A and B are shown apart, each in its own frame.
Chain A
Amino acid sequence: MTLLIVDDSSVMRRTIEKHLSDYHLDIIGTAGNGRDAVQIVKDKRPDVVTLDITMPEMDGLTCLENIMEVHPQAKVMIITALSDKLTGLQALDKGARGFLYKPVSPEDLTKAFDKLLNRN
């Protein structure tokens, strides 16, 4: 199973990578903005994408729309600091399958991934 990590913070990208190391996901790329993320999705069609919302160049929700257009099967897990309900619901509307609020602890991430990948 392939994974793309999208977050404008490189520390955050590495944090996610570290937390998910037990999942044996094949991390096929990381992106620091929405535009790069869409390009990688188009080229490599990852199974799972973690997606930040507040990002330069192209924000996460717009990016999500584009991802769903080019690769609707992708399971997108939103990981954002924007803790209002509406943003979460909008993300679900646009096709996200999982949702996490920052700050994200390792437990938060694994629990959410268990649900996303139907692992228990």
Chain B
Amino acid sequence: METKQSKFETTCQLFIDSVNNYFEHLTQTPAEAGVPYLKEQDNLMLKEFTGMIGISGSRKGFVYISGNQQMYSDLIELFVGLAEPTTEDVLDMAGEISNVVSGNVRETYGSDFMISVPIVFEGRPKQLKFPSEIPVYVIPIKWKSHEAFVVIGLE
């Protein structure tokens, strides 16, 4: 039980570090992580755009990062210099962040922590099924003035 507890902590920490690294490395502005908390599956936190990664292998579950359009637009402008991105671009950006953040976790979990290609959506999809009986952690983050959620559901 203690291992489960520490697992929760380390897992959260890993994702917080990974998100931090992403923003710090690419934008020189770190993302502030809020206090993580547990959340019921049926009422998950979603912002305007979400990139979700399925996890299989040594651990099973999902990870998603959800943020508002403006955050993604800012990033796209910074990376590509494109001031008015299309919805497609924004979705793409959401997918890429979730991919990089969960991909980087493999440095610790190794190649058995298998990640899917990003699943991206706008708003709240009608059908969003998660494997039941897994705790879902929500890590609120704040980058510049943008709020976002990193949501981790892992066995």
Contact = CB atoms under 8 A, between A and B. Distances in A.
Interface of A: 8-12, 14-15, 18, 54-56, 80-84, 86-87, 101-103, 105
A11 B99 contact: no
B93 A11 contact: yes
Interface in B83-122: 88-89, 92-93, 95-96, 99-107, 109-111, 113, 115-117
B115 A82 contact: yes
**Of A11, A15, A80, which is in contact with the most chain B CB atoms at under 10 Å from its CB?**
A11
A84 B110 contact: yes
A54 B25 contact: no
Interface of B: 21-22, 25-26, 76, 79-82, 88-89, 92-93, 95-96, 99-107, 109-111, 113, 115-117
Contact of A8 (B81, B102, B110, B117): B117
A82 B106 contact: yes
Contact of A83 (B76, B80, B81, B106): B106
Contacts of A81: 99-104
Given A15-B80, A103-B21, A103-B26, A54 B110 contact: no
Given A81-B100, A105-B26, A86 B107 contact: no
Given A83-B107, A84-B110, A10 B100 contact: no
Contacts of A103: 21-22, 25-26, 100
Given A9-B95, A86-B111, 10 more contacts: A10-B88, A10-B92, A11-B92, A12-B96, A56-B117, A81-B99, A81-B102, A82-B106, A82-B115, A103-B21
Given A14-B80, A18-B79, A18-B81, A87 B100 contact: no
Contacts of B93: 9, 11
B110 A86 contact: yes
A15 B92 CA distance: 12
Contacts of A82: 103, 106, 111, 115
A9 B92 contact: yes
A101 B22 CA distance: 11
Contacts of B99: 9, 54, 81, 102
Contacts of A87: 106, 111
- Nearest 9 CB-CB pairings of A with B: A81-B103, A84-B106, A83-B107, A81-B100, A9-B96, A15-B79, A86-B111, A14-B80, A102-B100
Contacts of B26: 103, 105
